[in-house]
Structures are given as C-alpha cells and as structure tokens.
Amino acid sequence: MKTFRITTPDEALRPVLQNKIDNLNKPKGSMGRLEELALQIGLIQHTLSPELRHPCHLLFGADHGIEREGVSISPREITWQQMINFSRGGGGVNLFCRQHGFELFLIDMGVDYDLHSYPGIIDCKVARGTRNFLHEAAMTEEETDQCIETGARMVTECHKRGCNVVSIGEMGIGNTSPSSIWMHLLTGTPLEMCVGAGAGLNNAGIRHKYEVLQSAIQRFRTHHPDLQDADVRSTRYATEVLRWFSGFEMTAAIGAMLRAAELGMVILVDGFIMTACMLMASRLYPAIRHYAVFCHEGDEAGHRRMLEALHARGLLQIGLRLGEGTGALCAYPLLQSAVRMLNEMNNFENAHITKYF
C-alpha cells in the first residue's frame, strides 16, 4: 500500500494563536466553536492569518457486492442514476458546491454501469462493484492499492489548482454496511449499536441487515484466525478490515484524506460513511486526525458514538443523512467565518476598548 508522510502540526504556534484569539474584541470564548476552528486551521497552515483557497469537493462513486443481500432499501441502480444526475448538475451536492464556490470532481471508482460517455464523470473504474463480503473479501490487495492511489492523485490535482481545503463525498448504495462493520471492529462498539436504517430501512430491514453483517464478520474471523481483538490497534488489523469490507469509493476517499493531510490541507469530513473512512485513515496514520474538521452529526445510528470514539464533535446537528458530502459543504461557511474572525476582527488595544478579563 502507498505510504504517506503525515506530520503533526507544529504546536509551538498554539499559544501565540490562542493569545490572538483571546485578544480579539469580544468576551473570551464567546465565539465558541469558531474559536476552536480558527485555532485548528491556523495550526494546520502554521500561520496567524490563515486563508481558505479554491475549495474542492471530491465525490467518489461505486457499487457494493453486499447490496445483493438486501441491506439497503435503495436499489443498486440508484448509484449510477445519481452519478448521471450529478453530472447534469441536479443533485444536492451540485447546489451546495455552486452555493459555496467548490470545484466538483465526480469520480467513478466502480459503478455497475458504463459511465465513460457522460461528460464530467472521471473514469477511474476498478471494477463494476466490489465482491460480496458476506462470502469473500470485497477487494484484492491490488484493487485496494489502486483505490488509495487514485484518491491521493485526485487530491494532488486539487492542490495543483491552488486548493488548501477539500471535502469528500460518496455515492454507493449499501455503503453504510461496511461503515457499520468498521465502527464495530475498530472501536469495539457492539454491532447492534452500529447498524442503522441507512437510506430508510424499517425495523425488520435493520434486523436483517444486522444478521447479514454479523455473518460477514464471522466469515472474516474464520478466514483470519491469527487476528485477535488484541490486534485491533495494529496497522495490519486495520488493513485487513479495510480490504475485506470496503468499497472502492470508500477506499479512494481514504487515499484522498491521507494525501490531503500529507499536503497540509484542511479536510472536511461529512457524515457516517466519511467519518468511518476517517476512522480507518486514523488507524493507518494517527496524525491525520489533526487535519479533520467533522462537519455534522447525522441521523444514522452510531454516528455520534463513532465521533466520540474519534474524540470529535460535529459542527452541525440538523438531521442530515443524504451523503454525497452535503453536510461538509453546508458547514463550510462556519470555517469561513472562523478565518474571517481571526483575520478581520479588531483587538482590544487597536479598538481602544477596555480589556476587562
């Protein structure tokens, strides 16, 4: 697998940044999460005057073999139909990219449909969907590497265009299933607390989904008797879990996240599925956590618990569960506000206001 050089941001600037934030003409701490964002972005960019440049949104699409087991209420063809819809500008992701000035990249990692003739869709197809992880590993080692490298390459392209903040989304019917398994296997959370309705399953559907995923995990453990619970923090454990249960679009998203952190970019993390990708990325490279801004807390069962496992909080709690990266895009104005606060708000001394604390 491709290696990345991800370093922890230099902490030497933290007290200087915090002092600047504290001396803006406001009660100390009164800007709440905006102050936390300003501090984080300043540390990532190692400056007292950060800026957000040429934001890009990467949307990776692919199908999942596990979808054949009836784990989603949405039929498989929704993946390719939505990808075509996105290419024509008609999706939720499109309107928010337009609203907030993001350059949108639509990447076909493994959609079970021929999309090469549709303008605006970048053909990086590995295969027409992953294998069914109820019976076998979803991906080969070669496919895993290909997805990681593709995701990284897309971020490199964004960086060349001047981008220093990237958001990532997905389109893949069935991808809450691998996300739930990752949460269970990487955090130790009981599986029933990780499995939710996805696109809208009823109680019976959720129970069926749970049973399918439980069987898939048992097959994985049978195939890997050498991997014990004690190994859960090891890179090898994470890599095997990734290969067995992932989707092409999720693996590409992980490659994108890792490359973005390597380049010192701000990473906007969307909902349940992208949080699962950040969880996996953080098990491969723990330092990536410093570059992640968790943009919202979705309705999918377990998302809050997954955020807690990452010692994170979502910026928004507005009932989002669309995917596509839409929650990350909706949260972007908060980052803009945080940066503008740091750069444009006067301090007590220059404003001739008595500092009373």
Grouping H, G, I as helix, E, B as strand and the rest as coil, residue 168 is: strand
Collect contacts of 319-322 with beta carbons under 8 A, ≥24 apart: 320/271, 320/296, 321/271, 321/272, 322/92
Given a contact cutoff of 8 angstroms between Cβ atoms, the answer to whether 2 and 152 are in contact is yes
DSSP string computed for 210-223: HHHHHHHHHHHHHH
Compute the distance between CA of residue 309 and CA of residue 161 in angstroms, rounded to an integer: 34
Q: What are phi and psi of 296, to 5 degrees?
A: -160, 160
Q: What's residue 41's pLDDT?
A: 98
**Confidence tier at 112 by pLDDT (50, 70, 90):** very high
What does DSSP say about strands 121-123 and 103-110: parallel, antiparallel, or unpaired? parallel
Question: pLDDT tens digit string along 226-259?
Answer: 877 657 778 889 999 999 999 999 999 999 999 9
Q: What's residue 13's pLDDT?
A: 97
**Average pLDDT of the segment spanning 216-227:** 90
Given a contact cutoff of 8 angstroms between Cβ atoms, the answer to whether 268 and 167 are in contact is yes
Q: Two tokens at 241?
A: 């879990």
Q: Which residue has the tokens 């807390």?
A: 297
Q: What's residue 315's pLDDT?
A: 96
**Confidence tier at 349 by pLDDT (50, 70, 90):** confident
Catalytic site residue from 35, 69, 143, 324: 324
pTM score, whole prediction = 0.95
Given a contact cutoff of 8 angstroms between Cβ atoms, the answer to whether 287 and 6 are in contact is yes
* Identity of the residue numbered 340: R
Biggest CA pair distance of the chain: 70
Residue 324 appears among annotated catalytic residues: yes
Q: Collect all residues with Cβ–Cβ distance below 8 Å to 233 and sequence separation of at least 6.
A: 283
Q: Two tokens at 267?
A: 């990473």
Q: What's residue 1's pLDDT?
A: 84
- Please count the CA atoms within 13 angstroms of the CA of 342 that sit on its side-chain side: 28
**Average pLDDT of the segment spanning 298-308:** 86
**Confidence tier at 197 by pLDDT (50, 70, 90):** confident
Q: Which residue has the higher pLDDT, 108 or 356?
A: 108
Share of the chain above pLDDT 70, in %: 99
**Confidence tier at 353 by pLDDT (50, 70, 90):** confident
For 293, the enclosing helix (H) or strand (E) is strand 292-294
